[in-house]
Chains A and B, each alone.
Chain A
Amino acid sequence: MALDTVLIAQSTPDNLQPFAELGLKPDEYARIKEILGRRPTSSELAMYSVMWSEHCSYKSSKVHLKQFGEKAPKSDALLVGIGENAGVVDVGQGYAVTFKIESHNHPSFIEPYQGAATGVGGIVRDILTMGARPIAVMDPLRFGPADAADTRRVLPGIVAGVGGYGNCLGLPNIGGEVVFDETYIGNPLVNALCVGVMKHSDIKLAKAAGAGNLVVLYGAKTGGDGIGGVSVLASETFGAGGSTKRPSVQVGDPFVEKVLIECSLEIFAEDLVVGIQDLGGAGLSCATSELASGGSGGMKVALDKVPLRDPSLSPEEILMSESQERMCAIVEPSKINRFLEICKKWDVTVTVIGEVTDGDRLEITWNGDVIVNVPPRTVAHEGPVYNRPLAQPAYIDQVNSQKVNVPMPSGAAEIKAAVLKLAGAPNLADKSWVTAQYDKYVQGNTIQAQPDDSGMVRLDETTHLGVAISTDANANWSYLNPYQGAKLALAEAARNIATAGARPLAVTNCLNFGSPEDPGVMWQFAESVRGLADGCLEMGLPVTGGNVSFYNQTGAVAILPTPVIGVLGVIQDVRKRTPMSYKTSGLELFLLGETKEDLAGSEWAFLHGQRVGQSPDADLAREMRLIELLLEGNAFFTAAHDLSQGGLSAGLTEMVLRHSVGATISLSNPAIDLLSETPGRVIVAVETNKVAQLQALATKYSIAISKLGTTGGDSLTINDSVISLEELRTAHTSTFPRLFG
């Protein structure tokens, strides 16, 4: 194919171009012509098609996401907000922490190992790009039914990919989720979170400023990975008949990224970059247009200088390539030699591919011919913005008007059976099969990891300052009431942080939904965002950034709305954290928070095939009081464990098995007490001489409190049901090995 240049485009305005195959709608194509005053060259068409895809441009979500800015609570801690690669918050002592969660759903369905691996690689680079050393990862994962054949195909590969890439980078995995539901059978969700730390002065932004500064590409060479992956895969659903578009999936090399991290951190430490951007979705198209947009707009790039792994790639393919482990830096000429030296030390390929210019056009040449000449903001930031139609789906009224109808256990034997059933349910069972494939120790700063309520890492070995992170979602509640579901997930993540003694500080989110072209899905999305924004405002927690993944559906069936909320918090002294469980007998166990009959959306209802009813209403004022109680109680609590899916039954199971010390519990209404999933509840263990103090706290913060029982023994005894720890452990730990080998 002959090279399509700007000159040729100007002189052949009527050439037909395959904009539809590249994912552009006719009106979008027309708009490009309007912007340029001519037809685009094929390279420009490639750039616009990729950058204007849903995944890159957020065209369906932008109008809703701006609520995070509009309703942002005042927060002195926010150093970098939405819009950059990741948000940055001040955690004290001169430290800034950056964190973000992203999705890599569709690629993981196609190629589980590489999809998950490159998902981790991508989010880690986003954190690195902010100038931070990545210090931990988390992986909320969602799959189809646990015993489905396709789950057996994707789960092991995805877990191996998350572990394979994260372990090799030297990043401890400090938590995540594994959730099974038929809704995800054709659309597993792989969300990856990364957190990094730096000093305030180290923060880097993605802007190309200063005419004459050099544009430097470093990292892996460019090949044909994932060409068209972004616009084709993530912006269309899979056909219900099973036929899928199959562009090449990206293949990652974590060793190259590890070296890239060390090399970059040395470069940052010597203050050698003016701006920096990682190459993720849309590769060079994205990096060049975003960097140029971040500056005054002028940039010149010689695309033929890009080092290639595959010399047969055309310029369009180079621009669209999603080869992993590449970064683009803006470097002052006086600093380039030192930059090159550091790359040489680490054996990292580095090439000067262009420079920042005066003016406001991004110009890309191929062996001297101009093949791209565009205003970069139109590529990176001024893509189409849709105000998609939304309509409350019919199912909402239907399910909300029904009542959950499930058998409720009565009598000692049935209660015991219910506890054992929940203990072994795939959504609640012991996840060691998964988490043992992740290194949680590397870097030597992990304080909490799975199965604790939140991940916690120490930032400073002298002052013991640390951060805690939790990711949570409840797709059942979001399905029943998207507005409440988002608030409830936010409250849960914040509560998980506070349970350990850390104060919630900031929020990230990964919003996984079906097709935005479906008004019902769009309504779920809009309601979820509204709920999250309102919730964040009320709780005083700013959203620092996040990710939207649309088109998670097979044919006409969308996944349950699954907004995953990540909350980060700060703890002044990690040595004083409240552990999840206790190691001694004779402690008193209390339940904070009132238990109501909240079975709608519960695991018990799910196990009986029911997804109806009304979700609980989030009472964020009460949640905030509970958080304050937990933070104040940290001083004398022996242990504290948040309740979520599986209610009190799961909470007690997890607590007694953690250190193999049983408990004797008395419940007045055991079936409801054990199975209900009323939000805002925490089990607390205190020494007998601290009980009065605990009750005083409950009174101070107006939180209901009830005595559960005492710790000790080798069984979990609830009223007349005696469940030996051995039996409970067997039920809890045999599920995953049985399912996955």
Chain B
Amino acid sequence: MRVGVITFPGTLDDRDAARAVVAGGSEAVSLWHADADLKSVDAVILPGGFSYGDYLRCGAISRFAPVMQLVIEAAGKGMPVLGICNGFQVLCESHLLPGALTRNSDLHFLCRDQEIEIVNNSTPWTSSYKAGEKIVIPLKNGEGSFQCDDKTLAELEGEGRIIARYVGQNPNGSRNLIAGITNARGNVVGLMPHPEHAIDELTGPSAQGLGFFTSILNAMVK
């Protein structure tokens, strides 16, 4: 299983995502934003960071990168795509996912060990988890508040497209405590917290994030 990890200028967690991919059993393939080349990967991860310094809006400029053209096409054909944090922001700006991520409601950057509930385990990124399983993984961002209009929210809830929810107090003002969502087809997933930083108790709050990277090993590209 070859999983591509995209690096935009300003991406920070690409090496961490690659480490997690390898820990999960797949091969990590580095993808450069300016190259329109997916190198025959089976899945793609858009990692966290501050691509383009969050200029204009988070992910607003990355979305137009040459590699993103191919990602959008591939996603349309069913390729599994995971956007973590800034990656989630890029997916929303690209309209591969609905809604948008806005400034944390208390205006501060927040880094904390966050409990989330895996609500939907039918995506290629969450199949290793039990439905309703609670895990603790790091949340670290300044613009993590998921917003969308009522219609979109009803769709997401009604179609079971929320894949993860924050447990306990809402850390950033996200509607309905949404921590992660998927598209209608179920192959594109956006997640605000960072599973790649919870693959080893030595360096993270738990090893419970590894499931995202073992799930993909079991996925098949349609």
Q: Which residues of A contact B (CB under 8 A)?
A: 160, 163-164, 167-168, 170, 253-256, 258-259, 262, 345-347, 435-447, 458, 461, 574-575
Q: Are A444 and B9 also in contact (CB < 8 A) when A168-B50, A255-B55 are? A: no
Is B108 a contact of A441 with CB atoms below 8 Å?
no
Knowing that A170-B12, A435-B111, A444-B16 touch, tell me 15 more A-B residue pairs with CB under 8 angstroms. Answer: A167-B50, A167-B140, A253-B53, A254-B50, A255-B9, A258-B9, A436-B110, A442-B13, A442-B140, A443-B16, A444-B19, A444-B196, A444-B197, A445-B203, A458-B203
Of B9, B109, B142, the residue contacting A346 (CB under 8 A) is: B9
Query: In the complex, A97→B34 CA distance in Å?
Result: 33
Is A442 a contact of B16 with CB atoms below 8 Å?
yes
Find the residue from A164, A258, A345, A346 having the highest chain B CB count within 10 A: A258
Is A440 a contact of B53 with CB atoms below 8 Å?
no
Residues of B within 8 A of A262 (CB): 9
Is B194 a contact of A441 with CB atoms below 8 Å?
yes
Residues of A within 8 A of B9 (CB): 255, 258-259, 262, 346-347
User: Which 10 pairs from chain A and chain B are nearest by CB?
Assistant: A255-B53, A170-B12, A444-B16, A441-B197, A168-B50, A437-B109, A439-B140, A441-B138, A255-B10, A439-B111
Residue of A nearest to B140 (CB): A439
- 26 inter-chain pairs at a CB distance below 8 angstroms, sorted by A residue, are A160-B108, A167-B140, A168-B10, A168-B12, A168-B50, A168-B53, A170-B12, A170-B13, A170-B49, A255-B50, A258-B9, A258-B12, A258-B53, A259-B10, A262-B9, A436-B108, A436-B110, A437-B110, A437-B111, A439-B109, A440-B111, A443-B16, A444-B196, A444-B204, A447-B203, A575-B202
Chain B stretch 18-65: residues in CB contact (< 8 A) with chain A: 19, 34, 49-50, 52-55
Of B34, B50, B111, the residue contacting A436 (CB under 8 A) is: B111
In the complex, per-residue mask of B119-151: 1 if CB is within 8 Å of any chain A CB, else 0: 000000000000000000010101000000000
Residues of B within 8 A of A574 (CB): 202
Query: In the complex, A461→B20 CA distance in Å?
Result: 13
Query: In the complex, A574→B202 CA distance in Å?
Result: 8
Is B196 a contact of A258 with CB atoms below 8 Å?
no
Residues of A within 8 A of B52 (CB): 255
Residue of B nearest to A163 (CB): B109
Any A CB within 8 A of the CB of B2:
no
Residues of B within 8 A of A163 (CB): 109
Residue of B nearest to A577 (CB): B202
Any A CB within 8 A of the CB of B77:
no
Of B12, B55, B111, B138, the residue contacting A438 (CB under 8 A) is: B111
Residues of A within 8 A of B142 (CB): 167
Query: In the complex, A683→B15 CA distance in Å?
Result: 37
If over half of A's interface residues share one DSSP class (helix, strand or loop), that class is named, otherwise mixed; here it is mixed
Q: How far is the CB of B72 from chain A (nearest CB, A)?
A: 23
Residue of A nearest to B106 (CB): A741
Residues of A within 8 A of B34 (CB): 345
Any A CB within 8 A of the CB of B112:
yes
Is A443 a contact of B15 with CB atoms below 8 Å?
yes
Chain B stretch 60-88: residues in CB contact (< 8 A) with chain A: none
Query: In the complex, A440→B204 CA distance in Å?
Result: 10
Is B12 a contact of A442 with CB atoms below 8 Å?
yes
Q: How far is the CB of A133 from chain B (nearest CB, A)?
A: 11
Residues of B within 8 A of A437 (CB): 108-111
Query: In the complex, A175→B43 CA distance in Å?
Result: 37
Query: In the complex, A345→B196 CA distance in Å?
Result: 27
Residues of B within 8 A of A160 (CB): 108-109
Chain B stretch 166-222: residues in CB contact (< 8 A) with chain A: 194, 196-197, 202-204
Query: In the complex, A445→B202 CA distance in Å?
Result: 9
Residues of A within 8 A of B54 (CB): 168, 255
Residues of B within 8 A of A575 (CB): 202
Residues of B within 8 A of A164 (CB): 109
Query: In the complex, A445→B111 CA distance in Å?
Result: 16
Find the residue from B10, B16, B52 having the highest chain A CB count within 10 A: B10
